[in-house]
Amino acid sequence: MGGMFRIGASPAPWAPRIGELEQQGPAPRRERPLLAAYGLILVLVAAVGLLLTLVTGAFADGVQHPAFWLLAGLAVIADARAFIATGRRGRPVIVCPSLCFSFAILLCWGLGPAIAVQAVAAAVVAWRMRLPVTRAVLMAAQFAVASTAAFGVLALGSEELLETINVGDALRDAASVVGAAAVWLVTYQLLRAGAGLLARNAAPQNVQVLRPVPTYELLFIAALLLLAPVLAVTAYMSVAFVPLVFVPLYAVERMARLAAERDLMARRDPLTSLANRTGLAAAFARLRPNGNEPAHDPGLAMLLLDLNRFKYVNDALGHEVGDRLLVAVGQRLRSAVPEDAVAARLGGDEFAVVAPVTTETDARRLAEAITEAMATPVKLEGLQVDITGSIGIALAPQDGTDFATVMRHADVAMYLAKQRGWPIQAYRAEDDHNSPERLALLSDFRHALQMGEVALHYQPQVDLAGGRVVGFEALLRWEHPTQGPIPPYDLLKIAEHTPVMRMITQRVIDEVVAQQARWLAAGVELRTSLNVSIPDLHGDEIVTQLSERLAHHKVPAELIQVEVTESALTADLAQLRATIEGLAKAGVAISLDDFGTGYSSLQHLRRLPLSEIKIDRSFVAGIAHNADDAVIVRSTVDLARALGFRVVAEGVENRYTARLLTEAGCDVAQGYLYAPAMPGDAVIRWLGHHPTPA
């Protein structure tokens, strides 16, 4: 029996093979009659082949030779003492070299003796692997049918294979042997494929199930078959040389095992022994072989798990202890997922699971089981280390049909869960700001920035008490060639956390300071606010650039104000605080934008050098008809005044709202009630019709 034979009934879910009946569990009940009929047909074909050799006397002729018994005994011994290698997912792989001996017997003494020896070898393997008798009979029948096909090729060639002496006959015989080996291999693989289709309850037209076996296994079986004629010639010359064949057999087995281990390592994470990204993709393909035809394919769920605060473990206890924590996480993850699911480590502290789950409810149950498995602390270096994480869920085919799309959507859900502080989050298309369309828009926006096609407009800010213009806010404006004007919020959302964001900030700083210089030359001295993102506040580059541009254009620093969104204060404030304080020391005022939409602590307001708080337009718009919004606005104004901050209300669109804000004590307002944002060269003309500060 040639090839590699895995111990255990169930297959490695992330390593599908072509029709491997040996790896499959029990066939579904409705398929068992078909599988039994298939096995019966194979047994009958094998019996016919054996009967023909008995009738013709070929069997009796073979057993009279001592060399036959030597080869037969070595075949059984070889399978009884077969070499063991480590297979995929850690399961043993047994290498059975008996095919070399049985094929040599086929070449020397015909079909009957070969079938009989192979049947005994199959029984030995089945006994060693504790397989049922029916499985052993089916395997022996598969080998018998393959041998019958090979014998047919030999019969078309030479009847006296080993008695040729001239070059022409030798070449013809060599071609017959190679052809017989090829037919044997093809026939055997087709038989395995047929058994596999029945065992997996797959439709015959499902050609994607017929994936090729690994190259190393094909080469191993081919090497066994092509060693057989060498063994046959050796037995024909002298049986004393026959045992020497174990040396090349061992070398072939060794190379096959190393190839199998390399194939395994290509699909396995070496630290946790879970699947890696390649193994996860193989599992996805196995569970959804008809990914392009969702109606004919079962659904599945992909869960992406990212650990919280893993970096702190590495920094505090060292990377070796961090690796031990990852191993513990891998063990718990493996124990939490069902048998038909596959757990993987993608790298770092990121893990994933694919499971044949069709509904979001069931996927959430699996995510909750994983969270519960992680709940018990891990003891490392005498410390109890808690394991928490964020899990993102994506379903196929609802959230995508291919591996890359489903994984990307699970990744989006996972990061959203991390941002919100939730343990579990399912993918929602409306939360995905990284669609191909948005990426294309980002590319177009980058090009527009480089070509100078993005403009800055300025919206006035008006003192509510005196009605005077006290400043402007610089706002991005870009008209896409085909999509028309793109809202600034959408631009900043897709550019955030990309290099384009830094390009935007640099462009805004350069243009705003240059515009201030032009206004000063025209006799206008008004403050201008510009927006910066969270990544801009990491490092002092923005402080350096702003200081250089102010000095170059001879613009006073107090005429520039930097707006920081409240969400920045929920990030790592220790890293951002130094930059914010650097801007304040340079004389630039700091405004806290979108106040009320984030989760900042009051201590941030007290510790940061803020000059202004801007109430988000969502609260301002509701002040006239929503009592809760009115209370929030009044409370914010009172808090800001107590801390000495100026208060600006965004999105003021009618006089009634402006009057309510004035009564609440708000200082400044901006919105369409006063003017939309306008180009910089239109500001001076607009100011000619509106009062300016004294």
- Which distant-in-sequence residues (6+ apart) come within 8 Å of 200 by Cβ? 24, 209
pLDDT band at residue 234 under the 50/70/90 scheme: confident
Helix (H) or strand (E) holding 321: helix 319-336
Tokens of 487: 């809202």
| C-alpha gyration radius of the chain | 38
- Residue pair 668/462 in contact by the 8 Å Cβ criterion: yes
C-beta separation of 361 from 295 below 8 A: no
Task: Give the sign of the dihedral formed by CA 79, CA 84, CA 85, CA 86.
Answer: positive
What is the CB neighbour count within 10 angstroms for residue 448? 18
22 has a pLDDT exceeding 70: no
Q: Is the pLDDT of residue 169 over 60?
A: no
- Residues 576 and 205: their CA atoms lie apart, in Å, by 60
CB 400 within 8 A of CB 368: no
Q: Cβ distance 605 to 643 under 8 Å?
A: yes
Give the integer Cα–Cα distance in Å for 176 and 266.
38
The predicted structure's pLDDT at residue 41 = 60
pLDDT in the model for residue 519: 94
What span, in angstroms and rounded, lies between the C-alpha atoms of 282 and 448? 41
Q: Name the strand (E) or helix (H) holding 42.
A: helix 32-56
Structure tokens at 310: 């893993």
Secondary structure (3-state) at 83 = strand
Q: Among 22-26, 429-433, 570-574, whose mean pLDDT is lowest?
A: 22-26
**458 or 63: which leads in pLDDT:** 458
Q: What is the mean pLDDT of residues 127-156?
A: 78
Rounded CA-CA distance 494/449 in Å is: 14
- The whole-model pTM stands at 0.52
Q: DSSP letter for 532, please.
A: E
Instruction: Count H helices and E strands in the chain, helices first.
Output: 24, 20
> Rounded mean pLDDT of 29-46?
53
Residue 614 β-bridge partners: 648
Domains in the chain: ranges and CATH = 28-260 (no CATH), 277-431 (3.30.70.270), 456-687 (3.20.20.450)
Tell me the two tokens of residue 32: 């068992």
CA 577 to each of CA 230, 431, 574, 582, 614: distance values in angstroms, whole numbers, following the listed order: 79, 29, 5, 8, 19
Comparing CA positions, the residue from 119, 75, 81, 116 lying closest to residue 98 is: 75
Q: Which residue has the higher pLDDT, 11 or 247?
A: 247
Helical ranges in 468-572 per DSSP H: 488-495, 499-521, 541-553
**End-to-end Cα distance, the chain:** 100
CA angle 172, 173, 175 (to 5 degrees): 65
Residue 645's H or E segment, with its range, is: none
Q: What is the pLDDT of residue 295?
A: 52
Beta-sheet pairing, 589-595 with 560-565: parallel
Compute the distance between CA of residue 227 and CA of residue 65 in angstroms, rounded to an integer: 21
- Tell me how far apart the alpha carbons of residues 277 and 439 are, in angstroms, rounded to a whole number: 24
Judge if the upstream peptide bond of residue 397 is cis by omega within 30 degrees of 0. yes
Distances 643 to 44, 473, 607, 612 between C-alpha atoms, Å: 94, 23, 11, 10
pLDDT (mean) for 457-469: 92
Instruction: Please name the amino acid found at residue 174.
Output: A
For 295, other C-beta atoms within 10 Å of its C-beta total 6
Q: What are phi and psi of 505, to 5 degrees?
A: -60, -45
Task: For residue 561, give the H/E element and its range.
Answer: strand 560-565
Q: Mean per-residue pLDDT for 523-533?
A: 90
**What is the arithmetic mean of pLDDT over 579-605?**
77
What is the predicted pLDDT for the residue at 517? 94
User: 554 falls in which pLDDT band (50, 70, 90)?
Assistant: very high
In whole angstroms, give the CA distance from residue 115 to residue 103.
9
Region 345-358 average pLDDT: 89
Residue 648: what pLDDT? 93
343: its two tokens: 């757990």
What number is the average pLDDT over the span 627-634? Answer: 86
| CB of 36 closer than 8 Å to CB of 211 | no
Would you state the pLDDT for residue 172? 66
Tens of pLDDT, residue by residue over 65-107, are: 777 788 888 887 777 665 555 444 444 445 567 888 888 888 8
Model pLDDT for residues 387-438, shown as the tens digit of each residue: 888 999 999 988 888 888 898 889 888 888 887 778 899 998 777 766 667 7
Model confidence pLDDT, tens digit, residues 266-299: 678 888 888 888 888 888 887 876 555 555 566 8
> What local confidence, expressed as pLDDT, does residue 289 receive?
62
Q: In what order do the strands lie in the sheet with 4-6?
A: 4-6, 92-95, 83-86
